[in-house]
Structure 1
Amino acid sequence: MSKEDQGWFAPKRYGYGAGLPIAWQGWALLIGYIAIALSVALLIEWDAEIGGATGFAIFFVATIALMYIAKAKTRGGWKWRWGGDD
């Protein structure tokens, strides 16, 4: 197995994108993303006026980072799949 084949996420069987994590790094990334999302929810609950805008910005950046890393670390990359073995 080459280094390129060792991804953190499995490709989706149908559709475009990544599936569930298949390595501890992928699980750590996903758990970290969920922790950020929960922290943003607490920030908005604490102060809706300032926390809303700040929370949205933090959540937006975290989502873009998650997508970028998942795309780079998905075994076989992101492409449309029809359910076949590839």
Structure 2
Amino acid sequence: MSPTRDYWFPAKRYGWGWGMPTRWQGWLVLLAYFVMLGATIHVFGPDRHMGAFILVVTLLSLVLVGVCWLKGEPPRWRWGDD
């Protein structure tokens, strides 16, 4: 298997960042993120605990970006076919 096929998250074709997962591990990470996001909304609804809600959503999102950084293609600006 080539090294590029080991990435869980491929680079976006245009812009900076990652696209949708290409491996089951990436899909599992994305599913876990959305499940924990839903639990956060249920426990710390923005109408009840705005500060805690923002903190937890920020932390969850930072963890997701960290996983993408470690297990995705190296990020750089892309202009399409290159």
Taking structure 1 as the reference length, the TM-score comes to 0.81
1:54 CA displacement: 2.1
Counterpart position of 1:82: 79
Structure having the higher Rg? 1
Counterpart position of 1:41: 41
Q: 1:14-25 to 2 correspondence within 5 Å?
A: 14-25=14-25
Task: Provide structure 2 residue ranges, at least 5 long, that are not aligned to the other structure.
Answer: none
Greater Cα shift, 21-30 or 36-45: 36-45
CA distance in 2, matches of 1:7, 1:69: 11
Q: 1:1-80 to 2 correspondence within 5 Å?
A: 1-2=1-2, 4-5=3-4, 6-45=6-45, 48=48, 51-75=49-73, 77-80=74-77
CA distance in 1, matches of 2:42, 2:12: 32
CA RMSD, Structure 1 to Structure 2 (Å): 1.9
Moved over 6 A (4+): none
1:70 CA displacement: 0.5
Taking structure 2 as the reference length, the TM-score comes to 0.84
Identity rate, percent: 31
Task: Provide structure 1 residue ranges, at least 5 long, that are not aligned to the other structure.
Answer: none
- Of Structure 1 and Structure 2, the greater strand share is in 1
CA distance in 1, matches of 2:30, 2:16: 18
